[in-house]
Structure 1
């Protein structure tokens, strides 16, 4: 029987041949479906390295091992690069300047204790601080503040550096004459921000929920304080919109600026305010059509207080226990709450007055007079014979005189006659001057348009 030579093993495994055939078919299909320009635009380079017989996998290798090997291999060549960069970074950290030290100020730390922590003699603190008049600012430490020390090879301080705020850093650098102090202040970028809120409980809580800083909420209340009594007029469902300045440094909001425009809808009525600085550099708020938001008197002299007693001709006095006219309005608020002057004027009295206790009386021109009673104390600089500006703090809520609890008793007189300050129609201030009206509209109209656009976008997104 003639023996036949053994069959040569196939050059490639069947699995490889099938895979290659499949890829070729896909490429042919792509050429038929897409024009040549599209194939060029979407081209992907495929490196198909078919193994030679000597590199074939053994027949008994488990398929699961192949899957595991594929999974553990780098997902892309970039993975190896990243590993190399990570290793290089770690190596660089190992070689970090050995004479550089950083410490965080903890409770009870002083500059002397921090010097000791980095290996510097505490006795050198006095010498360093005495080398420059401003160097003492390094002794005004804040909890959590970071101090960075750089030393010479011989262990002496070369420089001391610290960031005291988001906008300010201070440093001391060794010179031939001692240490030189330096301050670097970063000028923030000013941008505008828009917020919209709906009152559900209080203005403060709703402002916070909308992302409006508390200081901006207070400023908004001042802007609309001539028309809206925030002690009694606010209702759930009222809405507000504000465009205000944000000051940004290093991608972080570090402060807020002025309210540029705002709208407040109270009980279905909408009030609008726009900030405008005239050619003399004086800034005020006006309605969108140029009427002044500022009036001769603000509606309420205490922010966010509760009215505990109204103007009445036949109220029973809570202490005297007899019918006695209540010729003012009582605002209940926590002890120490600031009280503001309702308008510009001259202080006729800042002192004790019978049952009113600590009292301030202000004369506003020839027609109007206001009284503020039961104060805990007077604000600095407020004294009989002096003058005050509208909105200036003149004192603080207390319970002096005939008072059952901390509150402000507020009276309003017109030509010597007591009137209800909640019902009194307030006189208006001057509108935009005719020669500045065109300039005002150039500033106000874009702000109004932006608020309309922002609100429309907000409403559209909420309906999705």
Structure 2
């Protein structure tokens, strides 16, 4: 069993989170975990600005006194455009671990902001000129360009309402989430394993793969987010939060996370004192 010791890393964004985290001594896995924790609120491609800051307390694993690997992030603070975001790891009385704000709100949203690791190629635009038909036709979704075969993730827990060929959309999956929200994923090369009408899916599950089926000019995901049948901009729509800490667990949560918060503050204070000493 490796010995676990808390470690601290901090940095200021200059170019990208990836480069700044590497300069701060974080490995790639920790950086991906950090982006995942805050990824429901911060788009790390478009929202991050030069001067944004991060501070992370994480597990450093040792075997026989030698550094071996890194473990989980225990607490983290990310300041984006002057706004502080704090995440604390908490394991509930059922043994389930997740990240929460100090007030007990889940860091997760009920939906992923972006259901694919890819670049935005065409935004939501109700006045867009269609690239194939050359007529003004509302673009009621968001397009993400990616190589064929790139996995497409379910944006939230739900049930498959439709899976198959859907006219100009090509190979398409439509998910139903609760009573009033649906998400649509179009132009797939193939559906995910076991994806068919009525299948239950979990957030983050692969439901298909990028392709260029239907009326398109190249491989990409066309993603739609609808509330009561009305198309919304998936990049700006207010996403519902996942379940917060239940009231019955709140006292235990406050007791455990107050220690994590104190630990983060101790590291921050020592970092500030070090910076002052260096300036002097």
**Normalised by the size of structure 1, how large is the TM-score?**
0.56
Mark the runs of 5 or more structure 2 residues left unpaired by the alignment: none
Written as runs of structure 1 = structure 2, the 5 A alignment for 1:128-207 is 187-207=1-21
Change in Cα spacing, 1:273 to 1:328, as seen in structure 2 (3 Å) is same
CA distance, structure 2, for counterparts of residue 383 and residue 254 of structure 1 = 44
Deviation, 1:403, is 2.8
SS at match of 1:313: coil
* Structure (1/2) with the larger helix percentage: 1
CA contact (8 A) 1:231 1:307 kept: no
1:229 aligns with 2:32: no
Written as runs of structure 1 = structure 2, the 5 A alignment for 1:213-252 is 213-252=27-66
User: Which residue of the other structure, out of 253, 257, 271, is the alignment partner of 2:85?
Assistant: 271
CA contact (8 A) 1:265 1:271 kept: yes
1:353 corresponds in structure 2 to 166
The CA deviation string for residues 119-169 of structure 1, in whole angstroms up to 9 with x for no partner, is xxxxxxxxxxxxxxxxxxxxxxxxxxxxxxxxxxxxxxxxxxxxxxxxxxx
Relative contact order higher in (CA < 8 Å, ≥ 6 apart):
2
User: Which residue of the other structure, out of 215, 220, 241, is the alignment partner of 1:428?
Assistant: 241
Structure possessing the higher radius of gyration over alpha carbons: 1
1:310 aligns with 2:128: no
1:452 corresponds in structure 2 to 265
Measured on the aligned residues, the alpha-carbon RMSD in Å equals: 2.1
SS at match of 1:265: strand
Find runs of 4+ consecutive structure 1 residues off by over 4 angstroms: none
Deviation, 1:316, is 0.8
SS at match of 1:374: strand
User: Aligned residues, how many?
Assistant: 277
CA contact (8 A) 1:232 1:306 kept: no
Change in Cα spacing, 1:435 to 1:418, as seen in structure 2 (3 Å) is same
Mark the runs of 5 or more structure 1 residues left unpaired by the alignment: 1-186
User: Which residue of the other structure, out of 213, 217, 220, is the alignment partner of 1:404?
Assistant: 217
1:394 aligns with 2:210: no
CA contact (8 A) 1:225 1:300 kept: no
* Structure (1/2) with the larger strand percentage: 2
**Normalised by the size of structure 2, how large is the TM-score?**
0.89
